[in-house]
Amino acid sequence: MKRLIDKLRRTHRLSAEEYAALLACEERSVADYLRQQAGEVALAQFGNGIFIRGLIEIGNRCHNDCYYCGIRRSNTSVARYGLDRDTILACCKEGYALGFRTFVMQGGEDPSMTDEWMEQTIAAIRAAYPDCAITLSLGEKTREAYERFYRAGANRYLLRHETHNDRHYRMLHPAGMSLEYRLQCLQWLKEIGYQTGTGIMVGTPGQTIAHLVEDILFIEAFHPEMIGIGPFIPHHATPFAAEPAGSVEMTLKLLSIFRLMHPAALIPSTTALATLVPDGRERGILAGANVVMPNLSPPEQRKNYSLYDRKAAFGAEAAEGLRELSRRMEAIGYRLSTERGDYNHV
Ligand code: 5AD
């Protein structure tokens, strides 16, 4: 197994069978070795600086009904909100003062939030913060919408594919949604010129090692600039309420594999990982992640952006908790970087 990991580090790829063997292997020493190698690669690539992104959850209204997600349309027990433009700009202002140079606007697929409104919001942030990166995470749109947002000043787009297996995709999403359109969106984003992020949840119901290998091969071929990997965590008001959460070990393993495959990728240590175990954020960094995304949303709305139960949004997971986050990173030999942290093509 260690030879496979060495090969992955050296050549950045394995065969499907080799990935499957690595994922299936439960030996502690192999997992430790994988994490150590990926941690070394991240350090060599980025030094000990961890990029910070301010996450602004701009609204939780959503016309989709994904079975895993707490803000799905059918969940009537969550209070719905949408931030107005001034509130979003105030979040950016606060974030800028704290040192953030990337703002990530994430939200549900809300038809009442028109492309025009979004375009103007992006343009307003672009005008006020010419030195900052604007990242969007707003789900599936038309190609035209992606183009308008890009022209208005957005630089990056996050859209996880969630699973690259068509049957599995349909187990997680209602009829009307398709893997095909999701992949089409990713292709458009890349063509338009966004730094594009994709990724998966680990441990969604029905997920197998064979599915994960398909995800790995897709990511290898698509070569996204950003890769988001977090454990699935059940939400009480969804069809998956009684399902178990994904495994921390498997999440870290995948994170390390992606780091070895793609040394320059921007890979966050996700909120879901930090939610599942108290030292999750640190363990993600040590396994090869190089980005954290503290919450910059208005504190009174954070509870409503409930993708899953107990989602961390305060303390080290919050923009106002940056000092605690900084302390925790320093405790493991890292520091927060206030650089913009664009993807570096080399
Ligand atoms: N557990 C973990 N992650 C989730 N997401 C949505 N619902 C959950 C959940 N229950 C993730 C999806 C989505 C991202 C914004 O949040 O992967 O792409």
H/E element, 116 = helix 115-128
Non-local CB neighbours of 293 within 8 Å, separated by 6+ positions:
52, 53, 54, 55, 104, 268, 270, 271
User: Ligand 1 center to residue 138 CA distance, Å?
Assistant: 13
Give 328's pLDDT tier (boundaries 50, 70, 90): very high
Give 320's pLDDT tier (boundaries 50, 70, 90): confident
Selection from 129, 120, 55 nearest residue 91 by Cα: 55
Q: Are 1 and 25 in contact (CB under 8 A)?
A: yes
User: What pLDDT is stored for residue 38 in this prediction?
Assistant: 98
Non-local CB neighbours of 47 within 8 Å, separated by 6+ positions:
none
Give 344's pLDDT tier (boundaries 50, 70, 90): confident
Residue 18: phi and psi, rounded to 5, are -70, -40
**Helix, strand, or coil (residue 226):** strand
Query: What is the mean pLDDT of the segment spanning 342-346?
Result: 83
Which residue among 56, 202, 307 has the greatest number of ligand 1 atoms within 8 angstroms of its CB, and so is best to mutate?
Answer: 307
Lowest mean pLDDT segment, chosen from 1-15, 20-34, 205-219, 309-323:
309-323
Distance CA 179, CA 182 (A): 5
Distance CA 222, CA 213 (A): 14
Give 346's pLDDT tier (boundaries 50, 70, 90): low
C-alpha to C-alpha distances, 266 to 75, 101, 259, 309, 328, nearest whole angstrom: 33, 15, 9, 26, 20
- What residue's CA is closest to ligand 1, atom 2? 232
- What residue's CA is closest to ligand 1, atom 16? 307
**Mean pLDDT score of the chain:** 97
- Its pTM stands at 0.97
User: Ligand 1 center to residue 307 CA distance, Å?
Assistant: 6
Selection from 186, 183, 81, 67 nearest residue 137 by Cα: 186
Query: What is the mean pLDDT of the segment spanning 309-334?
Result: 94
**Ligand 1 pocket by C-beta < 6 Å: which residues?**
68-69, 160, 162, 201, 230, 232-233, 235, 272, 307-308
Distance CA 59, CA 118 (A): 12
- Nearest atom in ligand 1 to the alpha carbon of residue 231 is 2
C-alpha to C-alpha distances, 6 to 9, 31, 71, 229, nearest whole angstrom: 5, 13, 41, 22
User: Ligand 1 center to residue 251 CA distance, Å?
Assistant: 13
Q: Are 68 and 333 in contact (CB under 8 A)?
A: no
